[in-house]
Amino acid sequence: MPIHLYWGDDAMARERAVQELIDQVIEPAWVSLNLSRLDGSSGDQAVQALNEARTAPFGGGGRVVLLQRSPFCERCPAELAEQLEAALPLIPEQSHLVLVSAGKPDARLRTTKALRKMAEEKKFPLPAIWDGAGLIEMVQRSAAAAQLQLEPAAAELLADTIGNDSSRMAGELEKLALYCGEKAIDVTAVKALAGPAQQNALAVGEALLAGDVGGALMQIDGLMAANEPPLRLVASLVSQLRGWLWLTLLEQSGEQDPMAIAKAAGIGNPKRIYVMRKQLRGVRPQRLLKLLARLLDVEAALKLGSPADVAFRDGLLGQSG
């Protein structure tokens, strides 16, 4: 049955997959009648998506009903869950219901269980800012989707330069494609257009770990000037610190296998463990916990409306290492 469950915080990759499905299913002459774009943050539109998905397409080709911010795998009211379960068996073969959300589906929900029995599920997670292998893979995947040739060294430099900002990645690749023409994108081209590695959350985290709060705040100022969303920066830093904390706790418990540590800590590249061990030499878990507490203070201040520069300064200057 043509039901699709797309989730993950890589919005660019999600949208690319959605557009590929639309191009595959709908005949261009019938797009205006056979494509519906709805927003699941409105309960009425979620119900409308179920109703439209049960409608056969007009003319040739198929129909796509796209529901962004789908509520069915997150906080789904009982009444809406019942409507979904009733609608699923009634969707025609040529009608495609595409449910899109940023968050991971809640496996405990009955709606998630029902959808996973019938839907094609695709994941689009962004790699953590410190996951070097994951970042390079994201670059390579984006280049492949744009049908661009990218040299390995250029992929590494783009990962260092841009981090996990998939929107900026798409823009930089578009510029590089115009710059290089038919040639493969190389390091020289990346340096010419994308410039040197920018401040990123990884550098901020390393400065905090070293006790260089002033340096971390300067990095943060640079990121804020480049329009980095403050809450996304906090989330990246928390993810980075949790990885470090997992490593210190596991090693204290006697675990030394990098593969086992990487799996437990959710680190995509086990080779990263060797780098992290050097960074964490002499660092106690209590210090990492203290940094995490300060970041939670920053997050709370941001959500209460404090300006980003004030929230970061008040939160981070309160810690002394």
In this predicted model, what pLDDT tens digit does every residue of 226-247 receive, in sequence order? 777 888 888 888 888 888 888 8
Q: Rounded to whole angstroms, how far apart are CA atoms 164 and 178?
A: 22
* Residue 33 placed within a domain: yes
pLDDT-derived band at 6 (thresholds 50, 70, 90) equals very high
> Does residue 142 sit in the same domain as residue 46?
no
The CA-to-CA distance between both ends of the chain, in Å, stands at 56
20: CB partners within 8 A, 6+ apart: none
> Does residue 115 sit in the same domain as residue 10?
yes
Structure tokens at 305: 């409306």
* Residue 294 placed within a domain: yes
Structure tokens at 298: 């920053």
Q: What is the pTM of this model?
A: 0.61
Q: Rounded to whole angstroms, how far apart are CA atoms 70 and 68?
A: 5
Q: Which residues pair with 100 in a beta bridge?
A: 6
Q: Mean pLDDT, to the nearest integer, of 192-214?
A: 75
Q: List, as own/partner pairs, every contact residues 43-49 make where C-beta atoms lie below 8 angstroms and the sequence separation is at least 24, other chains included.
A: 43/71, 43/77, 43/80, 46/70, 46/71, 46/72, 46/80, 47/80, 47/83, 49/97
* Residue 20 placed within a domain: yes
> Does residue 71 sit in the same domain as residue 166?
no
> Does residue 208 sit in the same domain as residue 291?
yes
> Does residue 155 sit in the same domain as residue 183?
yes
Residue linked to tokens 């589906």? 105
> Does residue 117 sit in the same domain as residue 22?
yes
Q: Mean pLDDT, to the nearest integer, of 9-17?
A: 88
> Does residue 207 sit in the same domain as residue 311?
yes
> Does residue 118 sit in the same domain as residue 8?
yes
Q: Which pLDDT value is given to residue 1? A: 60
Q: Which pLDDT value is given to residue 22? A: 94
> Does residue 255 sit in the same domain as residue 171?
no
What does the angle CA 55 – CA 58 – CA 60 come to, to the nearest 5 degrees? Answer: 125
Residue 5: helix, strand or coil by DSSP?
Answer: strand
- State the chain's mean pLDDT as an integer: 86
Q: Residue 142's domain is classified under what CATH number?
A: 1.10.8.60
> Does residue 89 sit in the same domain as residue 150?
no
Point out the domain boundary residue: 101, 123, 145. 123
Q: Residue 96's domain is classified under what CATH number?
A: 3.40.50.300
**87-122 tens-digit pLDDT:** 999 999 899 999 999 888 998 899 999 999 989 999
**152-188 tens-digit pLDDT:** 999 988 887 887 878 888 888 988 999 898 899 998 8
Point out the domain boundary residue: 123, 146, 180. 123
More confident residue, 270 or 47: 47
* Residue 261 placed within a domain: yes
Q: Which pLDDT value is given to residue 157? A: 86
Domain that holds residue 225: 201-316
**274-293 tens-digit pLDDT:** 777 777 877 888 888 999 99
* Residue 26 placed within a domain: yes
What's the number of domains the chain is made of? 3
pLDDT-derived band at 57 (thresholds 50, 70, 90) equals very high
pLDDT-derived band at 319 (thresholds 50, 70, 90) equals very low
**66-90 tens-digit pLDDT:** 999 999 998 888 899 999 999 999 9
> Does residue 177 sit in the same domain as residue 289?
no
Point out the domain boundary residue: 76, 96, 123. 123
* Residue 154 placed within a domain: yes
Q: Residue 237's domain is classified under what CATH number?
A: 1.20.272.10
> Does residue 206 sit in the same domain as residue 299?
yes
* Residue 321 placed within a domain: no
* Residue 288 placed within a domain: yes
Report how far Cα 149 is from the mean position of its chain's Cα atoms. 24
